[in-house]
Structure 1
Amino acid sequence: MDAMPSLDASTLTNRQAPWDSFDAEAYLKHNYRSLRADDRQILSAVRDHFAAHFAGRSLPGAGLRGIDVGAGTNLYPALAMLPWCGSITLFERAGGNVRWLRSAVQDYGANWDEFWEVLRRQPAYLTVVEPRTRLAGAVEVVQGDLFTDLPERAADIGTMFFVAESLSAAYVEYRGAIDHFAAALRPGAPFAVAFMENSLGYEVGDHTFPACKIQRSDVLAGLQEYAADDLKVSHIDVPGSQPLRDGYTGMLLALGRLRD
């Protein structure tokens, strides 16, 4: 029998990608088994952004609603929102990731302690005495397609990490993902959105997944319609000996708040 032809990540749309076969454990081990230098930079910047936005406001269990769109096997966006949220929705499409999330949030692994230590350097996070317990009590994992199932104006704070550019090779779907993310936030909500710059696609286990090749100008074009004037987009260099995938030139981090 002839071998199945490999998928071309440069042409795959979101519906064509094999999300039902996404290997959660393989992605976790490759990306988050320990804290990378680029993730440390991102996490520090997101921490400071949220802390500055909420400076002087009430903290523990403040009752705000958070959302992380396309959570995958990454818990650090949810941890970054924890001091201000009474509830956090982890919104995810791939079934394997949903199952991993539902298990992990009940008592997350020791690898995430290193990420929490970065957050604790900002005093706001010291109000969360037991992050495992707080996360387990706050999180709801919701399976759905962000193009059709994402609730509108539902969150007071939001994150979307390595999703918009990593679900399709089509630019229109990249922009659509940003549109739907922005629609899920309430006016004035602070947000953090991270992207792979110039990614051409990626392998997870035995499967190929698409990416849209974007640069800083594309991030600005996607977010400026929705963001207040203090939107900031920063470049994070690829660590010299630790590239995550072939064919990308770093990460981009957008920090801002939804326009009132």
Structure 2
Amino acid sequence: MDSRSREEVWQLNTEAPWDHFDPLDYVDHNYLSVLAEDEEIISVVRSHFSDHFQKNPGPVVQGIDVGSGANLYPAFLMLPWCEKITLLDRSSANVRYLERQVDQYDSNWDQFWDILCGNGSYAALGGDPRERFRRVVRSEKGDLFDLLRREGCWSLGTMFFVAESLSTSHEKFESAVECFLRSLAPGAPFAAAFMEHSKGYWVGGNLFPACDVNELQVRESINRYARDVKTRRLGQPNVVREGYTGMIVAWGLRNPDA
């Protein structure tokens, strides 16, 4: 390594060791049980999506989860309304994990689905939606910054703990939010989550970068491309790991005029 500082070394998303991301280690530390913060995020987004589609019934839609990593519950959140859900991730290791989970997801994810079934839209799919999940969900290896070439392709979207967790650059953070939101059709409901004031994180012995953002910065970055935006700060510092002060969940609708 040359004499550049860590800030400079980790400035670019392409410099992080994404293909060495260990999804099993990540699941072990984050998703073997349901954290209170995840339960609150699920509750907020579940209500947002179900309320939207109750008020706007129509044909089934196509959804995207950007930067899925080793997290299935964003796809669960979109499952009742989608004929296809794309799980996009740039890490080969994560894509392989997602492919295995699509075929038959592990039992630890059942507890996340159980929480969703407190809402009738999800309960209507039954206590074990594995067959529907297998039919609807597909993983795809790709970079979120390439989504600008696929503007308006999806009518429902999620992006959880991604935009602030790929580089140290605020410019890249804002660009990631833009790429995600521009991939959505006008009026599409969406939800996104962020680690507040994250200092970087370790997975499977590898250090991954993070951009230090707060709730105001999150809201401002989303407001450029969305309407009816709401945000909520939740959780306590360092519950999942050291080096952050809380979580932020944001939700709204894609603005057709931006």
Contact residue 237 and residue 250 of structure 1 kept, 8 A: yes
1:136 aligns with 2:122: no
Partner of 2:179, secondary structure, is: helix
Instruction: Find the counterpart in structure 1 of residue 15 from structure 2.
Output: 16
Please give the alpha-carbon distance, in whole angstroms, between the structure 1 residues aligned to 2:235 and 2:186.
32
Contact residue 147 and residue 180 of structure 2 kept, 8 A: no
Instruction: Find the counterpart in structure 2 of residue 205 from structure 1.
Output: 204
Please give the alpha-carbon distance, in whole angstroms, between the structure 1 residues aligned to 2:164 and 2:180.
13
Please give the alpha-carbon distance, in whole angstroms, between the structure 2 residues aligned to 1:190 and 1:56.
12
Contact residue 147 and residue 179 of structure 2 kept, 8 A: no
Please give the alpha-carbon distance, in whole angstroms, between the structure 2 residues aligned to 1:245 and 1:131.
31
1:72 partner amino acid: G
1:187 aligns with 2:186: yes
1:254 aligns with 2:254: no
Instruction: Find the counterpart in structure 1 of residue 104 from structure 2.
Output: 107
Please give the alpha-carbon distance, in whole angstroms, between the structure 2 residues aligned to 1:8 and 1:165.
19
Contact residue 9 and residue 202 of structure 1 kept, 8 A: no
Higher relative contact order (CA 8 A, sep 6+): 1
Partner of 1:185, secondary structure, is: coil
Partner of 1:175, secondary structure, is: helix
2:234 alignment partner, one of 233, 236, 239: 236
Map 1:161-180 to 2 at 5 A. Answer: 161-180=160-179
Instruction: Find the counterpart in structure 1 of residue 43 from structure 2.
Output: 44
Partner of 2:207, secondary structure, is: strand
Contact residue 231 and residue 257 of structure 1 kept, 8 A: yes
Please give the alpha-carbon distance, in whole angstroms, between the structure 1 residues aligned to 2:47 and 2:230.
13
Contact residue 195 and residue 247 of structure 2 kept, 8 A: yes
Please give the alpha-carbon distance, in whole angstroms, between the structure 2 residues aligned to 1:249 and 1:178.
21
What TM-score comes out, normalization by structure 1 length?
0.92
Instruction: Find the counterpart in structure 2 of residue 159 from structure 1.
Output: 158
Deviation at 1:40, TM superposition (A): 0.5
Uncovered stretches (5+) of structure 1, i.e. residues with no partner: none
Please give the alpha-carbon distance, in whole angstroms, between the structure 1 residues aligned to 2:55 and 2:174.
34
**Percent same amino acid among aligned pairs?**
45
Partner of 1:147, secondary structure, is: helix
Deviation at 1:57, TM superposition (A): 4.9
Instruction: Find the counterpart in structure 2 of residue 147 from structure 1.
Output: 145
Instruction: State the number of aligned residues.
Output: 251
1:106 partner amino acid: D
Please give the alpha-carbon distance, in whole angstroms, between the structure 2 residues aligned to 1:201 and 1:78.
25
Instruction: Find the counterpart in structure 2 of residue 90 from structure 1.
Output: 87
1:232 partner amino acid: K
Uncovered stretches (5+) of structure 2, i.e. residues with no partner: none
Please give the alpha-carbon distance, in whole angstroms, between the structure 1 residues aligned to 2:177 and 2:142.
16
Please give the alpha-carbon distance, in whole angstroms, between the structure 2 residues aligned to 1:137 and 1:217.
39
What TM-score comes out, normalization by structure 2 length?
0.92
Pairwise CA RMSD: 1.8
Provide Cα deviations, 1:204-247, integer angstroms capped at 9, x if missing partner: 0111000000001110111001111x2100001127xx721212
Contact residue 9 and residue 210 of structure 1 kept, 8 A: no
Deviation at 1:140, TM superposition (A): 1.4
Please give the alpha-carbon distance, in whole angstroms, between the structure 2 residues aligned to 1:18 and 1:41.
31
Please give the alpha-carbon distance, in whole angstroms, between the structure 1 residues aligned to 2:144 and 2:56.
31
